[in-house]
Chains A and B, each alone.
Chain A
Amino acid sequence: MSDHESTYVPKTGVEKWLDTRLPIVRFGADYMSLPTPRNLNYWWTFGGILALCLVIQIATGIVLAMHYVPNVDLAFASVERIMRDVNGGWLVRYVHANGASMFFIAVYLHMLRGLYYGSYKAPREMIWILGCVIFFLMIATAFLGYVLPWGQMSFWGAEVITNLIGAIPLIGEPVLIWLRGGPSIDNPTLNRFFSLHYLLPFVIAGVVVLHLWALHVAGQNNPVGILIPKERQAKDTLPFHPYFTVKDGFAIILFLMLFALFVFFMPDSLGHADNYIPANALQTPPHIVPEWYMLPFYAILRAVPDKFGGVLAMFGSIGVLFILPWLDTSKVRSMRYRPTMKVFFLVFLVVGVGLGWCGGQLPDAPVVPGMPSFTLFDGQLNSVLWLTRAFTLYYFAFFLIIMPLVGLKETPLSIPLSISEPVLPPVADAGQKG
């Protein structure tokens, strides 16, 4: 919290010397003693999990870069050489490849937590916006990284996604050539993608520092969603360490068990088999799909019949998150006390997963096989295309229409005066506490 006073006392002479010149130990100590709402639940552990994910990706990535060769003729074989001949290379590469998926599982849950408990509302707008920047950089980094093994999906994914830039009127074509380093995806593209894939994680790390700085200033939100007044601070908060280090630590280990399950027992289950076929510019795969974590956005892209319109919709679906703090008109943060909004939120969850499913299907495929249908404009009504459009409509309506309107119309439940009120048991029950 901003009014959190430093309790750090330098003990040794070296610490005192350093503290008056570069108070870096004080900075760390203050972070560890940060007053943290005592009612944080396990949904709040994903921040720590994400920090670990970033460290894992950077550490494994640095080792992979020592062995990887960014050349169209050698990239595929160099990745396989890591898998076969580099000591422990299979582990490093599988951790990095599955780590991307784990990173996205954690970031989606982290964002949904923020959405549900209203963590984006004043005074935490900057935490949320910086989080959106991190998310956007993560998508870019993951896309660039997926191109590097130079398999069929790498190549054709790069083809489809860079082509989107070409859809921008007037400047699209020259920008596309500038981005690719030539008229088509080739060695210059692979080289710059490798360079940028190495750069962006450090940009992410920089924005993470800002994200944490903003968090330190505004303080953490909590499941009740109310601000903790200064006079309640002693009662309603606990120091971050050891209370939340141990809680986050426990959650991190559970998360690592899920991570290890994928890395050691089904390392290729989240990827696409076609990416084990070396890239071939002359052979288009029958079905080009991005990695699972991009599928909802890929679905939104394909929902719009016009190519440039699709690009705008896709970027808009992420862009809308940036203005979320001003779209929500409700004064109440936590959806615990917003029963109407909670229903819309649950539908939003279903729609999000539904968009992901749609993104992996062929647009013409029927949703219910064998059900009678008719043609509506450019496609069968009973097709993934129209289901995607319905979901896309809800996605945007949720932010642009439902959020502003429900905030004005709904009657929230009564909100506790302090966060200890709902968690401290009634006085009569206190004696039985074990």
Chain B
Amino acid sequence: MTILKKNTFTMRKTLVTLVAALGLAAVAAPALAAGGAHHPRSGGFSFEGPFGTFDQGQLQRGYKVYREVCSACHSMNLMHFRNLGEAGGPFYDPHAANPAENRFVKALAAEVQVPDIDTETGEAIMRDATPADKFPSPYPNATAAAAGNGGAAPPDLSVMAKARHGGANYIYSLLSGYEAAPAGLQIRPGQHYNPYMAGDMTPFWTGAGPVPAGGFIAMPPPLAAGQVTYDDGTAQTVDQYAKDVAAYIAWASDPRATDRKQAGFGVMIFLFLFAGLTYLSYRRIWKGVAH
């Protein structure tokens, strides 16, 4: 009895240790970036949590919003058209597991022109994209991108959901959260007020009361109701567009997220069983040994 009690006690201590280690990591995690921005609203995304998966319809709508609106200024340099047809992607077709043969991907790629060279003369040409091509950049180079946008190049969106605190919820909140600037806030030229943007409005605030939350963003409100046509009957509102494109960017930022979580469940179940067996071995080996 004594041994049994002692074993469960030491095991509990180990668990406490692990929880404490986890706590330590949480406490020591870097603080959120400074700035009095609003906390992002929840987009109610299907891919959140350990069981979450992407909603393929939402990813397709999100790609459409990206292609018709965002891609005019924002590149996605890490994305290839083939990615759209890979397992878990917006246009994955189980009948065409090889994305190069996926008819949706081929058609979507062909809608976009990419720069290339003529293989015989070496002259610069434009041709239809294929699934193997990268998404083309909207600007020939970073200087042109900056020059066309008031001095700051629009950021690449490939890993945007990982590059901002709040991820997809932040992107959704920012895109759908533009507000008229409160009276008393001096708007800098070429800038727009957004309560979800990080920043400090103190130097620009002349009104009464507390300094408003948020910051300045060079991007004008990009979305308008009815701007992108949805074929599946989904509401064509700014809120819905913002949710869909945020989901699409979240997928593009981490296209292996669903694989990862599924593998994780297998690994956790295996480790749990392995731990149980090892614990039983431990009990058996130490049986009758005082310690």
Contact = CB atoms under 8 A, between A and B. Distances in A.
Contacts of A109: 17, 21
Interface string A99-136: 00100010011000000000000000000000000000
B183 interface: no
**A249, A362, A420 interface centre (most CB from chain B within 10 Å):** A249
Interface residues of A, number: 72
Given A84-B78, A253-B275, A425-B290, A293 B3 contact: no
A98 to B, nearest CB: 10
B28 A263 contact: no
Contacts of B155: 277
Nearest to B155: A277
Interface in B151-193: 155-156, 158-159, 162-165
A384 to B, nearest CB: 10
Given A84-B256, A254-B275, A273-B165, A295 B28 contact: yes
A5 interface: no
A225 to B, nearest CB: 16
Contacts of A42: 10, 13-14, 17
Contacts of B17: 42-43, 109
B50 A423 contact: no
B35 to A, nearest CB: 7
A276 B159 contact: yes
A314 to B, nearest CB: 17
Contacts of B259: 90
Nearest to A425: B2
Interface stretch (B94-102, B232-240, B280-288): B280-288
Given A105-B21, A433-B2, A242 B285 contact: yes
A105 B25 contact: yes
A417 to B, nearest CB: 16
A273 B198 CA distance: 14
A401 B225 CA distance: 69
A260 B271 contact: yes
A374 interface: no
Contacts of A256: 271
Interface stretch (A16-24, A185-193, A284-292): A284-292
B1 A432 contact: yes
A101 B255 CA distance: 24
B147 interface: no
Contacts of A249: 278, 281-282
A292 B289 contact: no
B127 interface: no
A415 interface: no
Given A77-B77, A270-B29, A254 B291 contact: no
Contact of A287 (B31, B159, B256, B281): B31
A159 interface: no
A353 interface: yes
Contacts of B267: 260, 264
Interface string A351-372: 0010011011110010000000
A101 B78 contact: no
B281 A246 contact: yes
B24 interface: yes
Contact of A273 (B15, B163, B256): B163
Contact of A84 (B13, B156, B255): B255
Contacts of A285: 33
Nearest to B272: A257
**A250, A276, A285, A434 interface centre (most CB from chain B within 10 Å):** A250
A423 B290 CA distance: 7
A327 to B, nearest CB: 25
A254 B19 CA distance: 11
B263 interface: yes
B230 interface: no
A269 B278 contact: no
A258 B28 contact: no
A9 to B, nearest CB: 23
B171 to A, nearest CB: 12
B4 interface: yes
Given A91-B263, A264-B261, A273 B18 contact: no
A239 to B, nearest CB: 11
Contacts of A105: 21, 24-25
Interface string A304-323: 00000000000000000000
B208 interface: no
Contacts of B158: 80
A246 B282 contact: yes
Contacts of B24: 105, 108, 353, 356
A434 B22 CA distance: 35
B140 interface: no
Nearest to A151: B163
A345 to B, nearest CB: 15
B27 interface: yes
B25 A101 contact: yes
A251 B278 CA distance: 9
Interface string B6-18: 0000100111011
B58 to A, nearest CB: 21
A429 interface: yes
Nearest to B270: A260
A94 to B, nearest CB: 8
B130 interface: no
B213 to A, nearest CB: 16
Given A257-B18, A260-B264, A425-B2, 12 more contacts: A77-B77, A84-B83, A243-B289, A250-B278, A250-B279, A251-B14, A253-B275, A264-B263, A265-B261, A273-B164, A276-B162, A434-B4
Interface of A: 38-43, 45, 77, 80-81, 83-84, 90-91, 94, 101, 105, 108-109, 238, 242-243, 246-247, 249-251, 253-258, 260-261, 263-265, 267-270, 272-274, 276-278, 285-287, 289, 291-293, 295, 353, 356-357, 359-362, 365, 420, 423-425, 429, 432-434
24 contacts: A42-B17, A45-B14, A108-B24, A109-B21, A246-B278, A246-B285, A253-B278, A254-B18, A255-B18, A257-B271, A257-B272, A258-B22, A264-B265, A270-B25, A272-B30, A273-B165, A276-B162, A276-B163, A277-B163, A292-B29, A356-B28, A360-B31, A424-B290, A429-B2
Interface of B: 1-4, 10, 13-15, 17-18, 21-22, 24-25, 27-31, 33-35, 50, 77-78, 83, 155-156, 158-159, 162-165, 198, 253-256, 259-261, 263-265, 267-268, 271-272, 274-275, 278-279, 281-282, 285-286, 288-291
